[in-house]
Amino acid sequence: MTTAARRIRLILMLRQAGVTDPRVLSAIELVPREAFVPDVFRDQAYENTALPIGHGQTISKPVVVGLMTQALEVGDRMKVLEVGAGSGYQTAVLARLCRRVYSIERHRPLLIEAEARLQALKLRNVTMMYGDGAEGWPAVAPFDRIIACAAAREVPAALADQLAEGGVLVLPVGTARDSQRLVRVRRTSDGFRTEELVKAHFVPLVDGAAVESGTLTAGLGSG
* Window contacting ligand SAH (CB under 6 A); options: 14-22, 24-32, 170-178, 200-208: 200-208
CA distance 211 to 56: 14
Residue from 132, 162, 170, 217 binding ligand SAH (CB under 6 A): 132
Residue from 106, 108, 145, 187 binding ligand SAH (CB under 6 A): 106
Active-site residue identified among 26, 60, 189, 222: 60
Residue from 134, 163, 171, 173 binding ligand SAH (CB under 6 A): 134
Distance of CA 202 to the CA centre of its chain: 11
- Is there binding between residue 70 and ligand SAH (CB under 6 A)? no
Q: Is 213 annotated as catalytic?
A: no
- CB-based burial of residue 120 (10 Å sphere; 0-12 exposed, 13-18 middle, 19+ buried)? exposed
Alpha helix ranges (H) inside the chain:
3-16, 22-30, 62-72, 89-95, 108-120, 157-161, 215-220
Enumerate the active-site residues. Answer: 60
Residues near ligand SAH, by CB under 6 A: 57-60, 83-84, 86-87, 89-90, 104-107, 110, 132-134, 149-150, 203, 205-206
